[in-house]
């Protein structure tokens, strides 16, 4: 009795593809990607070597997986790709070639992805375990999964770099803010000090004005009044009674002027 299920192959592939997709989506950086591909790809296609190039402008992300378990990630420029890859890249037409010596065949496809990026997929397989034509539809799905993940990881990396740059700029800005705050504080203290000195000067100036008004004005008024009564008194009486007082008042005025000058000098010295 032989039981056959025509959909078993599809079920197996579906399960393998789900695991492949889930595994790829768990990857956190590009360096781990080839190892994850290596883990799942043998359940999807026959291959000896799997090369995947994700091309973004002139930068190429190269993923290489070998059936024996070796895998690597590297970057290169477009002109470093081999002649066969360059040919497929330029023509955009899928191509394959067979090497009789090594009994291996290489299949290659170019895919146009989102954001004007494209990818190149190369599969080398041995004639003992050839790449099956029926697996070709899977290649498109594999490319879709890989290109989306690489795009995503590149974006995450870019965001990470920009965040780091932003953090550096924020630190620099915070340092500058601190400098500005220190300068502001210094300026404020200078203003407070100058205001205080100005208030002090004003107070002293006010004192000086008050002194001038009282000490200078009083003997001067006496002199003016005594001069004013000159014609009202006899000359002898004026000379004997008023002149000594006038002389005393003039001396008082002189002393007051000397004091004003001294106070002004002290004030000037304090100001300087």
Contacts with other proteins, residue ranges (CB under 8 A): 1-5, 8-10, 12-13, 16, 42-46, 67-69, 129, 132, 134-135
- Residues β-bridged to residue 73: 63
CB of 35 to other proteins, least distance (A): 11
Query: Is 103 in a helix, a strand, or coil?
Result: coil
Residue whose tokens read 């081999």: 82
Token reading at 8 = 């078993």
Helix (H, G, I), strand (E, B) or coil at 169: helix
CA distance 232 to 258: 32
Q: Closest separation between CB of residue 76 and other proteins, Å?
A: 26
- 13 vs 81 by CB, closer to other proteins: 13
Q: Quick one: DSSP state of residue 48?
A: S
Number of helices followed by number of strands (H, E) in the chain:
7, 6
What tokens were used for 91?
């023509």
Comparing CB distances to other proteins, the nearer of 129 and 184 is 129
Q: Whole-number minimum distance, CB 34 to other proteins, in Å?
A: 14
Q: Whose Cβ is closer to other proteins: residue 19's or residue 56's?
A: 19
How many Å from the N-terminal Cα to the C-terminal Cα in the chain? 119
How, if at all, do strands 59-66 and 104-112 pair? Answer: unpaired
Instruction: Report yes or no: 180 and 232 within 8 Å, Cβ to Cβ.
Output: no
Q: Enter the tokens of residue 180.
A: 């500005």
- Cβ-based nearer residue to other proteins, 135 or 215: 135
Q: Report the residue number, 15 or 179, with the smaller CB distance to other proteins.
A: 15
Question: What is the closest distance, in whole angstroms, from the C-beta atom of residue 9 to other proteins in the complex?
Answer: 3
What is the nearest approach in angstroms of other proteins to the Cβ of residue 40? 11
Cβ 20 to other proteins, closest distance in Å? 12
**C-alpha 235 chain-centroid distance:** 97
Q: In terms of CB distance, is 65 or 246 closer to other proteins?
A: 65
């Amino acid at each position: 009795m032989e039981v056959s299920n025509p959909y078993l192959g599809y079920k197996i592939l579906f399960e393998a593809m789900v695991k492949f997709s889930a595994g790829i989506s768990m990857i956190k950086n590009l360096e781990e990607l080839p190892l994850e591909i290596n883990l799942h790809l043998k359940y999807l296609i026959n291959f000896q070597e799997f090369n995947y190039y994700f091309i973004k402008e002139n930068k190429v992300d190269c993923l290489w997986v070998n059936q024996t378990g070796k895998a690597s990630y590297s970057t290169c420029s477009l002109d470093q790709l081999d002649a066969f890859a360059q040919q497929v890249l330029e023509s955009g037409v899928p191509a394959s070639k067979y090497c009789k010596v090594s009994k291996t065949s290489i299949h290659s496809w170019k895919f146009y992805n989102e954001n004007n990026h494209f990818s190149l997929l190369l599969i080398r397989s041995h004639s003992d375990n050839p790449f099956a034509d029926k697996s070709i539809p899977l290649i498109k799905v594999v490319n879709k999964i890989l290109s989306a993940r690489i795009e995503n990881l590149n974006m995450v990396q870019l965001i990470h770099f920009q965040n780091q740059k932003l953090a550096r700029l924020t630190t620099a800005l915070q340092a500058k803010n601190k400098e500005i705050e220190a300068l502001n504080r210094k300026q404020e203290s200078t203003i407070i000090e100058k205001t205080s000195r100005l208030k002090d000067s004003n107070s002293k100036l006010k004192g000086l004005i008050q002194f001038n008004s009282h000490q200078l004005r009083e003997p001067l008024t006496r002199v003016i009044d005594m001069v004013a009564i000159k014609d009202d008194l006899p000359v002898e009486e004026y000379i004997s009674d008023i002149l000594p007082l006038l002389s005393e008042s003039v001396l008082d005025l002189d002393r007051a002027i000397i004091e004003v000058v001294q106070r002004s000098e002290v004030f000037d010295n304090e100001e300087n």
